Amino acid sequence: MKTLLLPILFLGATLGLRAEDGHRLWLRPHATTPVTVVAPTTSSALLATAKRELQQGWQGSAGTTVTLTLKKDKAIKYDGFRLNAQGVQASTERGILYGVFELLRRQQTGQAPAAGLSNPSYEHRLLNHWDNPDGSVERGYAGPSIFWRKDSALVVTSRDKTLWQEYARANASIGINGSVLNNVNASPLILSAEYLGRVKAIADVLRPYGVKAYLSVKFSSPVLLGGLKTADPLDPAVIKWWRGKAKEIYQQVPDFGGFLVKASSEGQPGPQDYGRTHADGANMLADVLKPHGGLVMWRAFVYSPSDKDRAKQAYNEFVPLDGKFRDNVIIQVKNGPVDFQPREPFSPLFGALKKTAVMPEFQITQEYLGHAIDLAYLAPLWEECLQSDTYQAGPGSTVARCTDGSVYRQAHSAMAGVSNVGLDTNWTGHDFAQANWYAFGRLAWNSNIKSAQIAEEWLKQTFQNAAGTNQPATSAADWNAKFLTPVTQLMLASREAIVDYSMPLGLHHIMSATHGHYGPGPWWAPPGMRADWTPPYYHQAATNGVGFGRTKTGSDAVSQYHEPLASQFNNPATCPDAYLLWFHHLPWDFKMKSGRTLWDELALHYDHGVQQVRQFQRTWDQAQPYVDAERFGVMQNKLRTQSGNAVVWKDACLLYFQQFSRMPIPAAVEPPMHTLEALIANDTPPRPPRQP
Ligand code: BDP
């Protein structure tokens, strides 16, 4: 027995086989063939990475020669590349690396090695980590930080380095070229000499994969860390402090990317504390970073409880400042005007800022879409936002085109995603949440790729030929029909299912805060709590109807959109159902386009969401023969939990709203199995045990 087992184990080790625990992401090993790589003779670490990746991943004809050519070419933008019969051509070393990964991706997903040009939509494609120096991760559902930890924070271990390298490689494979290493709710500690030492260590590991390090900074750092009396951006001593800090950073990290700033937002300090504007604050930091080539990403996520409609505030704050920012400032805008909800219309700031660079911020971590429990493939949400037409410069002024430099001249373009990465073995806490990391990178590279294509690519790389399946597919066609097609459909339907069972028809922000925004809380309004942090502020349910009135006779948020949208959103007859209760407060018996009452329609959406999750369970069960036992079982359990929680959402919202509608739940809807009293008492179901 022993003698038989050993060679098998050995073979497995040389092929790099390990359990399908998800740690390899979409970069699982494959049988490879030898390849000859001709590359410029430089000592570049990036080119060495490109060469190594080719040699370790080549699946084309054995003995092929692939040439990597570094050559200026006007048609190649940023880190773009050209694939041709010889190999990869690019103007930057990063471009070469991305071209190599594209070649390998095509081989792994069975696509012909197409010749042609590939340019990134955005110059900077960044992950934002909401990681704290103590190792915790704000809104993280995949374990502690991969960058920071509580104990011996400054000791860099070989395990740290291995992990950072794996992380950097995954990013490079999808074109991500920057990482903000710490939380936007930034600790001043991050700028201390000790922590900057660790930043340097991280940056050194990320660099050979083309990933630049950035930091979130706390605006009051000159006071908290530097001991100054003020952080006023116009104060010479403050400017001097930041200059010195920038110099110190660039000494450690010569290619440091720049600062991300959350200021005068949710209690964070900012220029407004000193009677200055966002432009004053951003420009001061921009001037400090300019000589080093750094950028300032200044967030537009600002709102205060004193103003009437939270959805309007960022626009009101930033539009008057248009044109007042330095050219190395980019305003970072969340996709929706409120806060990463399962569905929001696009933020009206997109396209409205015409003389200022604007970048979209998406949330990869599933704060409002089921944490690492529910299956939510987010590419359709991001695609919906990017392809929304703002009309700001005529039809076709999509959010994507208003931010990538096609519509307005802007010195820099970028896209950010709030990362879902943590120390969990599978990085993201949920095997399918990896698809969101992957999809973010692919969309930042090409904002026109369809969600379906991304899902298929990811599924092929992540699940094909899984080790340990009990009945491997008999052929590629069989695998496509029995696994790829149904599971792609499942992924594509998953976000809408969550919208349906949690916040359909434009409802938003009605989650409970008791369990970190997981589960329903339409009633959630503890005494003394800021109104704009409670669900009743957003749903406005009363006997006369439901929804937030943002029409011209309401808060007039509609007027922040360019025509024809303003009129379209303003009229309930033309407002898309998906945004109806976002813009309108309507009576429960309002007649919908379907002919049904609003109440019936709402109930049917909730029920549909529940039915959808049950369908996902069946689809997954049928996929069992094609999935390794490990990932199959974990996912099956998670879907079961999600299914139960979907019912909780449906019952909670229908029973709560029914107190006001006083209308019967339609016969076609599954009757509630919970009581409102019990749901309120529990608030949300207990969190299931963490993934083993
Ligand atoms: C909210 C999160 C909070 C973040 C904030 C932000 O609940 O943890 O700090 O966004 O983006 O959605 O700054």
Instruction: Tell me the three-class secondary structure of 116-150, residue by residue.
Output: EEECCCCCEEEEECCECCCCCECCCCCCCCCCCCC
In the block, tokens 């050219």 appear at 327
- C-alpha–C-alpha distance, residues 140 and 424, integer Å: 11
Residue 149 CA to ligand 1 center (angstroms) comes to 21
Mean pLDDT of the chain: 94
- C-alpha–C-alpha distance, residues 10 and 437, integer Å: 33
Q: Report the helix count and the strand count for the chain, using DSSP H and E.
A: 21, 13
Per DSSP, the three-state class of 95 is helix
Of 156-170, 379-393, 462-476, 661-675, where does mean pLDDT reach its minimum?
A: 462-476
pLDDT at 684 over 70: no
Residue 367 CA to ligand 1 center (angstroms) comes to 9
- C-alpha–C-alpha distance, residues 363 and 155, integer Å: 30
Question: Residue length, the chain?
Answer: 692
What percent of the chain has pLDDT above 70? 95
Place 3 in a pLDDT band, splitting at 50, 70 and 90: very low
Contact 428, 436 (CB under 8 A): yes
* Farthest-apart Cα atoms in the chain, separation: 81
Residue 465 CA to ligand 1 center (angstroms) comes to 39
At 252-305, the pLDDT tens digits run 999 999 999 999 999 999 999 999 999 999 999 999 999 999 999 999 999 988
At 606-627, the pLDDT tens digits run 999 999 999 999 999 999 999 9
Q: Which atom of ligand 1 is nearest to the CA of 339?
A: 12
Place 154 in a pLDDT band, splitting at 50, 70 and 90: confident
**Among 128, 137, 184, which is best to mutate for testing ligand 1, by the most ligand atoms less than 8 A from CB?**
184
Quick one: which H or E segment has residue 653?
helix 629-661
Residue 11 CA to ligand 1 center (angstroms) comes to 47
Quick one: which H or E segment has residue 237?
helix 236-252
Q: Which atom of ligand 1 is nearest to the CA of 361?
A: 11
Residues with CB under 6 A from ligand 1: 138-139, 184-185, 262, 266, 301, 339-340, 367
Question: For the residues 460-469, what does the mean pLDDT come to?
Answer: 85
pLDDT at 426 over 90: yes
Question: For the residues 679-685, what does the mean pLDDT come to?
Answer: 76
Tokens of 46: 């990036």
For residue 615, report the phi and psi dihedrals to the nearest 5 degrees: -65, -40
Contact 66, 57 (CB under 8 A): no
Q: Which atom of ligand 1 is nearest to the CA of 138?
A: 8
Task: Give 563: exposed, middle or buried? Use CB within 10 Å, 0-12, 13-18, 19+.
Answer: exposed
Question: For the residues 171-188, what does the mean pLDDT come to?
Answer: 98
Place 467 in a pLDDT band, splitting at 50, 70 and 90: confident
Of 248, 255, 266, 478, the active-site residue reads 266
- C-alpha–C-alpha distance, residues 555 and 553, integer Å: 7
Tokens of 332: 């970072």
Of 244-253, 624-633, 666-675, where does mean pLDDT reach its minimum?
A: 624-633
Q: 339 catalytic, yes or no?
A: yes
Global pTM?
0.96
- C-alpha–C-alpha distance, residues 482 and 623, integer Å: 7
pLDDT at 545 over 70: yes
pLDDT at 465 over 90: no
Contacts of 387 (CB under 8 A, 6+ apart): 398, 399, 400
Of 20, 123, 280, 339, the active-site residue reads 339
Contact 336, 344 (CB under 8 A): yes
pLDDT reported for residue 5: 39
pLDDT at 691 over 80: no
- C-alpha–C-alpha distance, residues 467 and 469, integer Å: 6
pLDDT reported for residue 43: 86
**Among 262, 303, 367, which is best to mutate for testing ligand 1, by the most ligand atoms less than 8 A from CB?**
367
Question: Which contacts of 560-563 are long-range, i.e. CB under 8 A and separated by 24 or more positions?
Answer: 560/312, 560/315, 560/337, 560/348, 560/352, 561/345, 561/348, 561/390, 562/351, 562/352, 562/390, 562/391, 562/392, 563/391
Tokens of 150: 């509580």
Q: Which atom of ligand 1 is nearest to the CA of 266?
A: 13
**Among 131, 141, 182, 185, which is best to mutate for testing ligand 1, by the most ligand atoms less than 8 A from CB?**
185
Measuring from atom 13 of ligand 1, which residue has the nearest CA? 184
- C-alpha–C-alpha distance, residues 37 and 67, integer Å: 6
pLDDT at 136 over 70: yes
At 75-121, the pLDDT tens digits run 999 999 999 999 999 999 999 999 999 999 999 999 887 789 999 99
Residue 199 CA to ligand 1 center (angstroms) comes to 23
Other residues' Cβ atoms within 10 Å of the Cβ of residue 263: 26
Of residues 594, 565, 567, 434, the one with CA closest to residue 504: 594
Of 53, 166, 287, 367, the active-site residue reads 367
Residue 266 CA to ligand 1 center (angstroms) comes to 8
